[in-house]
Amino acid sequence: MGNNLSAVPAPRSRRSSSMSEEQSSPKRRVASRRRASDSSLDASFDCQGSRQNRGGGDEQPISSLPMGGITTEGHRQRNLFAWCSWCYKECLHGRTQKNRLRRSLYMCLNCVRRTLPCRWCQQGMARGHRDYDDMLCAKCDGTIIAWGSVPSTIRTVGWCSWCYDLTSHDIRMTNVVRRNTYMCEACGGRTALCISCKKAFTRCNSFYDDYLCALCQGMMTSWNDVDTNRKKSLAEGLTILDHDDPYQSIYPLRRGQYVKALVDAKCFYESLLETLNAATESVFMSFWHLNPKIYLRRNPGTEPDISDRFDSVLKAKANQGVKFYIILWKENLTAVVNNFSEEVANELEGLHSNIFVVRHGPPNPLLTYYCHHQKFVVVDQDIAFVGGLDVCLGRYDDPSHVLNDEDSQIWKGVDYYNPHLVRPSSIKSFFTDVIDRQSVPRMPWHDIDFELHGSTARDVARNFVERWNHHIGSSGHRDLILTPRPHDEPPIQSVKSGTCICQVIRSMGQWSGASRLDRSIYGAYIHAVMSAQKYIYLENQYLSSSVAGDGVENIVAQRIIDRLKEKISAKETFRVIIILPQPEETGDSAMELLRWQYQTINRGGTSMVEQLARAFPDVDLEQYLSFFFLRQHGFLCGRPVTEKVFTHSKILLVDDRIALVSSANFNDRSLLGDRDSEIGVTVEDEDSLQIPMDGASFSVGRFPHELRLQLWAEHLGLSGSDTERIIDPICDSVYNGIWMKTARDNTRILEQVFPSIPQNHHTTMKIFKKEHGLEVPAVAVTDGKELSGVHGTLTMHPIGFLLDEEISTVLSLVLGENVSQ
């Protein structure tokens, strides 16, 4: 029970994350061999544009390959004993599947990385990647001279073409053409060594790498004029944390803004309904997933009114002359994720001629898995809603997060949602129950949006206009060019003013419609973390950062660790509180998500907990860093049931001074800018309050402070005047006496009643299965009387779960169907 932060595993072997430039250069003999083979094999690039198995053709069975240094152990063709090009060790590789060209894929059981038999020597295993697979092993491509040697870890100093500073660059991985890529330790930008001067570093993105640095491209005359060069580079979307514009957003800081926090979908849907009904001119919408048959207002004990259904609202307002412009993500691989966007677009446009829908997705095959993840609505370019909520099945909820709805009054049909069991096959099946309401609980959903008025809303509208005008080239609405309303034009809606300072932030690349790379969400996270004095509070669906290794690039978690080290060394009270769900995917996806999350938290050698444990072996780390998990309980037909509250919120609070809400997950896809498109907003409040922080008076902003109280009251099961007890978030009587005590007590009781839920002592899959860990719903072993002692939904996150397992795609763990973004 509990985080058990002191239980840090011994570092597991993982591949060396770096190699010297000289060592990666192939010998002339090997280079000529590669050129000869490449010329004859270039034609075998697959239709996705990746380097997937450049040898082409069907894979020979392992038994027919020249064995050389590869030998089988155990089941023939299932396990190979060979040298690994990731970890440079001779070890066992377990067969997992075949790639798109039927080439057998394996998993190194030492470093848990994807491998394939080398197509040249058949003595080593080549590296496998998500988007392509290498043909040659590390020895044959010249990375190493002989098996048994390991490339050295280096940091190289040079000028960075992202931030124009002379900085240190830490080697990360090799790209598609086996060119070493680095990360600038100042700005976090991905770089590569300039092939011309070989002294400076170029810009690299997820789908292209510059070959020349900024100087060799003629973008400047000298590296030394840093200020001038930075101004010129602004159009390239750098992550420089300037004083006047700390996040490098294209949108300015807006003062005097009104912001309202909408915690959980009930509040969001009802505010959205009221605002849509008041629309007079235009409505802009963008969602990752949209279902037109969602009821925006629901009242217990009464049937919902069809006039409050999303499609009915749109049709009624369209009849009044309001024009609706809607952007949906176009799924390229519906077999992987199917949001039925084509069906939704057809249904919406069939409602009225004033409703226009554009579906758009990545045009480059290498970006197939990236998506439009922005979630927002703008009404008359005056009022906007921004955050993590889609208008789709399973999202509607309120702070009570009840598990049951036996009479189908609140959640109709598929909207009574538990992704552990099933997902709908079509939007047409929306009103048909797919799970037994009498025996299976729904999975509650925790999320948050901000309602924005005035200039900030118009910035969100400008983001939509930029995207719409970019996307319509690939749609049937090429003549529907939109223009943003000027900020000095009087509002149409009744716009409120306030005391908040807001800034719209994004993750946007060229493919998703930006004129320049925008990584301002990433910059905002780093800025907020580095400015923290008292606490960092984080709720997110994922936690994947560079401390996990394996090529993960964003450095937010490392910056959190840096801040913690400063505060622990100074013996200051400082809390980092992180609320996460467990990954909700199946198969390989589940394993990757679990592995990255746990390697970010407490395993793998460089995780957050392990770094702190090595630096401060005598410190109780839970007083500084702790992880939590939301879980609800209830009764169905008199039988106790439990289910996680799916934490889908993407919120960062710092010191009751900064509030950041967005659609962005805590991972590279959302933060690096050129992958998934995201949008969010940072909020500070000039209406200040003096509150106690660790007993001493501290100035905070009213909006972030009241938002924290609202979130904590929900998680702790407090109401009304009880929030006075949690005014000071970091003092011992609140943090240990209320927050930690509630989480530990709830965890103890829930684990006693439901021993099959993931727990810290489930360190292996064998133990987990023995306690019926894969059964849905979780099995109760008592009558549930003890559950009266549970308050709220806060529990300790089971970060010891599967601690002794090598989490990989070889291990088959099913946590649920593909849920959501």
User: Tens digits of per-residue pLDDT, 334-348?
Assistant: 656 778 888 999 999
Residue 493 covered by a domain: no
> Quick one: 208 and 264 in the same domain?
no
User: Tens digits of per-residue pLDDT, 450-459?
Assistant: 999 999 999 9
Q: Write down the pLDDT at residue 228.
A: 80
User: Tens digits of per-residue pLDDT, 211-239?
Assistant: 899 899 888 888 988 778 777 666 555 54
> Quick one: 424 and 283 in the same domain?
yes
Round to whole Å and give the CA distance between 323 and 575.
Answer: 48
Catalytic residue among 139, 293, 330, 373: 373
> Quick one: 695 and 790 in the same domain?
yes
> Residue 286: which CATH number?
3.30.870.10
> Quick one: 329 and 282 in the same domain?
yes
Higher pLDDT, 52 or 262: 262
pLDDT tops 90 at residue 376 = yes
Residue 644 makes CB contacts below 8 A (sequence gap 6+) with 443, 444, 581, 582, 629, 630, 631, 632
* Residue 49: its H or E element: none
Residue 104 covered by a domain: yes
Catalytic residue among 311, 655, 668, 694: 655
Residue 373 is a catalytic residue? yes
User: Tens digits of per-residue pLDDT, 35-87?
Assistant: 333 333 232 223 222 323 333 333 333 333 333 344 433 334 578 889 988 87
Average pLDDT over residues 674-692: 96
pLDDT tops 80 at residue 129 = no
User: Tens digits of per-residue pLDDT, 153-174?
Assistant: 455 788 888 778 887 777 666 5
Of 46-55, 64-73, 624-633, 740-749, where does mean pLDDT reach its minimum? Answer: 46-55
Enter the pTM of the model.
Answer: 0.77
Position 488 confidence tier, pLDDT thresholds 50, 70, 90: confident
Catalytic residue among 323, 420, 650, 762: 650
> Quick one: 590 and 704 in the same domain?
yes
User: Tens digits of per-residue pLDDT, 185-200?
Assistant: 666 667 888 988 888 9
Q: Domain count of the chain?
A: 4
Catalytic residue among 360, 648, 715, 797: 648
Q: Write down the pLDDT at residue 417.
A: 84
> Quick one: 584 and 664 in the same domain?
yes
User: Tens digits of per-residue pLDDT, 95-128?
Assistant: 877 766 667 888 887 767 788 898 888 789 988 8
> Quick one: 311 and 204 in the same domain?
no
Round to whole Å and give the CA distance between 88 and 761.
Answer: 33
Catalytic residue among 210, 264, 308, 380: 380
> Quick one: 533 and 463 in the same domain?
no
Residue 562 is a catalytic residue? no
Residue 565 is a catalytic residue? no
> Quick one: 456 and 504 in the same domain?
no
Range of the domain at 117: 28-127
Residue 75 is a catalytic residue? no
CB of 582 closer than 8 Å to CB of 648: no
Q: Which two tokens stand for residue 377?
A: 């609505």
User: Tens digits of per-residue pLDDT, 416-472?
Assistant: 988 877 766 655 677 788 888 988 999 999 999 999 999 999 999 999 999 999 898
Residue 244 covered by a domain: no
Residue 694 is a catalytic residue? no
Residue 818 covered by a domain: no
Residue 253 covered by a domain: no
Residue 582 covered by a domain: yes
> Quick one: 39 and 177 in the same domain?
no
Residue 101 covered by a domain: yes
Residue 772 is a catalytic residue? no
Catalytic residue among 375, 412, 446, 527: 375
Residue 95 makes CB contacts below 8 A (sequence gap 6+) with 62, 77, 78, 79, 80, 104, 105, 106
> Quick one: 635 and 702 in the same domain?
yes
> Quick one: 56 and 104 in the same domain?
yes
Q: Write down the pLDDT at residue 44.
A: 28
Residue 138 covered by a domain: no
